[in-house]
Copies of this chain bind each other. A is one copy, B any other.
């Protein structure tokens, strides 16, 4: 998906919501457990219910890998089921030496039909460049994450700046704003003005709204750019809005509320 297509989706739907499919088989409604593939069945119903209110889906690969082969199969089926109009993110946090990162790129951009993958920056340029070789695919580099552990390294001094600032500045040289985004946690709202100054044109994938407590309003006010430049992810707040048979209806309702709030900021 090109940047232009993504921005058009956002403008048309008046939404920059991404729904995170962190689907945990121990948390899905019990009545689904008799389905042939409960995780896929849950995702299918969530996608059908929320697709008019969001512009993308983010699959958290960990939850699928934890279920072994059946989990990988559920991930394949889910990725194939997401409408082609929607931005498909593999939240995989991969990254390794070049010849290995090439294999990860192949896994998520060829064997699976994702538009984007999240990658870890620690190992530097050659661990990220293989992902950027794919035309119209997106590489989403971890910048400043939403968890408390962000204080251990990301928010520590690295020369004249903080490590996450160095990562933003450096990674912005590896690829342009048509192929590279950054993960910026919603709980780091105090840093958003600074982050937007460092990377004025890039899109941010922003997790941490909802269960993790980040403020959609504050992020939107501080970090929106002329192309919106934000994809805000909500996972648990949407998909586990209800643990009962009405889970899809409740997910739709929460997704719709996010969309309406976003429309007000656009």
Chain A residues near B (Cβ < 8 Å): 22, 24, 60, 62-63, 65-69, 71-73, 76, 91, 93-98, 100-101, 103-104, 106-108, 110-112, 120-128, 142, 145-154, 156-159, 163, 166-167, 170, 212
Contact = CB atoms under 8 A, between A and B. Distances in A.
B147 A127 contact: yes
A147 B97 contact: yes
A242 to B, nearest CB: 20
Given A65-B104, A66-B111, A149 B120 contact: no
A258 to B, nearest CB: 20
Nearest to A99: B22
Nearest to A101: B62
Contact of A154 (B65, B124, B212): B124
A67 B68 CA distance: 15
Contacts of A62: 94, 96, 100-101, 103-104, 107
24 contacts: A24-B103, A62-B96, A62-B101, A62-B103, A62-B104, A63-B103, A65-B107, A65-B108, A69-B76, A95-B120, A97-B146, A97-B212, A123-B149, A123-B154, A124-B149, A124-B152, A124-B153, A124-B154, A126-B149, A127-B147, A156-B158, A157-B158, A158-B159, A158-B163
